[in-house]
Chain A
Amino acid sequence: MAHKHTYSAASRFWIYPVMIVFVLLAMLPFLYMVSLSLQSDAEMFSGQVVVIPEELQFTNYVTIWEKAPFARFILNSFIVAGTIAFLHVLFDPLIGYVFAKMEFPGKRFMFVALLSTLMIPFFVRLIPLYIMTAKFGLLNTYTGLILPFAMSAFGIFLMRQFILPIPDDLIAAARLDGASEPRIFFDIVLPQIGPAIATVALLTFVFQFNEFIWPLVVVSSENMRPITTGLTLFNQEFFTQWNLTAVGGMLLFLPCFLLYLVAQRHFVQSAMLSGMK
């Protein structure tokens, strides 16, 4: 609670054990994945509780590449998630700026229309988007994977919120000096919202790296699968080989885990921001 006392010794006696249980539970699947990925088939099938494998089977990390094109899966994920994040960096700040600092007829209507897209669940768009993608001949292509996520109201809204506090006087003065709107955007606005852009890029990348439903629907050729569906279909094929699925899981896990370690603050802050809308 938000007052200053420290917890009494009696409270600490139960608070810490409870916290340890929840922390362990939160980490359990990931710790289990690490252990499982290093177990031999025999150890995995033994039906015993294995915490640290007796002999660390690093060979699992070698054989996995032969069982399915995992290198290709990861490459696909990076290309798709990277491009989408790049598109957001390109468009979100500019459009956020227009809504934050420019006046034009229809502004309110367009902003409300933009925000209303946040209420459209993806599965409502799923069927028509699939049919559109098929009609454009974009099934099994990077373009097809990227297009439905190239822009989102969330990134634009976030940018607008960060640009709003920039003093209007600063921008008005630049306009009086004859600076063009693109110039104002690049020289005055952009330098002030660097961290916010990093947040949008990071969140978009991780979110898209984890995207599952759309590639499941739109990709049928194995070589175009991102790691999420690649791993899922691998697991369906080798459904008893949990140790190999765990290795594949590590490949999907590590990029996001490393980003979280480095930039945890960005994730936490943007989540809190969503709570204050």
Chain B
Amino acid sequence: MTYRQRRALTAYAFLSPAIVYFLIFFFWPIAIEFWASFRTGQPLIGESTYAGFTNYIAIVTDKLAIKAVSATMIYAIGSTVFTLVIALGLASILAGPLKARNTIRAILFFPYIVSFVISALMWKSILDPYTGLLNAALLKLGLPPQYWLTDPDAAIWVLVAVSVWKDIGYAVLIYIAAIQGIPSHLYQAAELDGARRFQLFRDITLPLLMPTTLFLAVVIMIASMQEMALPYLMTGGGPANATRLYSLHVYETAFQGLNIGYASALSFAMFLLILLITWVQFKLLNRDIRHV
């Protein structure tokens, strides 16, 4: 055996646990879920028969699924837009010469690290109509109490707000790093030309941050599209399914409805959509980097 062959064998030996692991716990599950998504009956757990695209077509006529898709779109787009706008504002201040800016950054980032169970439960407690802090404060100010989590029009926006609250620190962190990477001579040159602070922001910072914005938009969007813990913890998907996010719908279809074939189709459809978004981001990012 040559030296080169021996080295290759060593490499495969080192890799073998990982190869086995990723095949069993990543690729195999996807394969059998893909298979199950084309079957009716009890695929994976009992008898089943091939059903073609029936499960995928059923998504379009499933009122709950449609509701889940629209709630998820509001949630994902709302979370992304508000997070990015607020984070960009905060980051452009925090990238400047501000006392205690590292402390502020660390505090803003903390909600991103902490368990979402705590955050969701405590926000729910704060919003509790009878014992919560918010209504107590409103009462003190002479304002009427609010029932946000039980109002179908408001509840989804409460979830958006909590999601924005959680993600802002992460987006701020990434934006600060990107802003600090912009060459300062660009600003100096523009200032010599008499540009004002707002113009510097609009004409230099904002365009140069495009790749970062796109990256953050996709990361936050994809994470939001998969969110299940937040509605599970705060609203249980209610009121009137207004906060039944897609993942929660998949979870309940699979684990309460025990409709494995249909649930597999639901989750595979979302998987394809997420892959598509990732691919589009890849294309856009590559183009952007070439042009900046």
Contacts and interface: CB of A to CB of B under 8 A. Distances in A.
Are A and B co-members of a single complex? yes
A151 B97 contact: no
In this complex, the member of A29, A45, A125, A132 whose beta carbon has the largest number of chain B beta carbons within 10 angstroms is A29
B10 A19 contact: no
A257 B131 contact: no
Contacts of A123: 226, 228, 247, 250-251, 267, 270
A139 to B, nearest CB: 12
A56 interface: no
24 contacts: A2-B95, A5-B97, A7-B97, A29-B118, A32-B125, A48-B136, A91-B17, A95-B14, A103-B8, A121-B274, A122-B226, A123-B228, A131-B260, A151-B18, A210-B116, A212-B116, A212-B229, A213-B228, A217-B251, A231-B121, A245-B121, A253-B118, A260-B110, A268-B105
State which size class the interface on A falls in. Answer: 35 or more
Given A36-B125, A98-B11, A26 B108 contact: yes
Interface stretch (B68-76, B150-158, B180-188): B180-188
Interface string B171-193: 00110011111101001100100
Interface in A252-267: 252-253, 256-257, 260, 264, 267
A52 interface: no
A128 interface: yes
A104 B110 contact: no
A47 B133 CA distance: 8
Contacts of A128: 28-30, 32-33, 36, 44
B170 interface: yes
Q: Is the interface of B mostly helix, strand, loop or mixed?
A: helix
A147 interface: yes
Interface of B: 4, 7-8, 10-12, 14-15, 17-19, 21-22, 25-30, 32-33, 36, 44-45, 90, 92-98, 104-119, 121-123, 125-126, 128, 130-131, 133, 135-137, 139-140, 165, 168-170, 173-174, 177-182, 184, 187-188, 191, 197, 200-201, 205, 212, 215-216, 219, 222, 226, 228-229, 232-233, 247, 250-251, 254-255, 260, 263-264, 267-268, 270-271, 274-275, 278
Given A44-B131, A95-B18, A104-B11, A1 B173 contact: no
Given A4-B97, A275-B215, A47 B135 contact: yes
A178 to B, nearest CB: 11
B222 to A, nearest CB: 8
Contact of B107 (A27, A107, A240): A27
Contacts of A3: 184, 187-188, 191
A209 B118 CA distance: 12
A2 B4 CA distance: 50
Contacts of A173: none
B45 A131 contact: yes
A188 B49 CA distance: 56
B150 to A, nearest CB: 14
Nearest to B190: A3
A80 to B, nearest CB: 14
Q: Nearest 10 A-B pairs (CB), nearest first?
A: A29-B122, A128-B29, A275-B174, A104-B8, A210-B115, A104-B11, A102-B11, A125-B29, A3-B187, A49-B136
Contacts of B22: 113-114, 117, 151, 153
Contact of B174 (A29, A121, A181, A272): A272
Contact of B126 (A32, A129, A209, A235): A32
A112 interface: no
Interface in A12-68: 15, 18-19, 22-23, 25-30, 32-33, 36, 44-45, 47-50
Contacts of A130: 254-255
Nearest to B177: A272
A249 interface: yes
Nearest to B137: A49
Contact of B271 (A1, A121, A245): A121
B182 A132 contact: no
A71 interface: no
A110 to B, nearest CB: 7
Contacts of B263: 127
Contacts of B96: 1-2, 7
Contacts of B178: 275
Interface in A83-108: 91, 94-95, 97-98, 102-105, 107
Nearest to B125: A242
Contacts of A253: 114-115, 118
B116 A151 contact: no
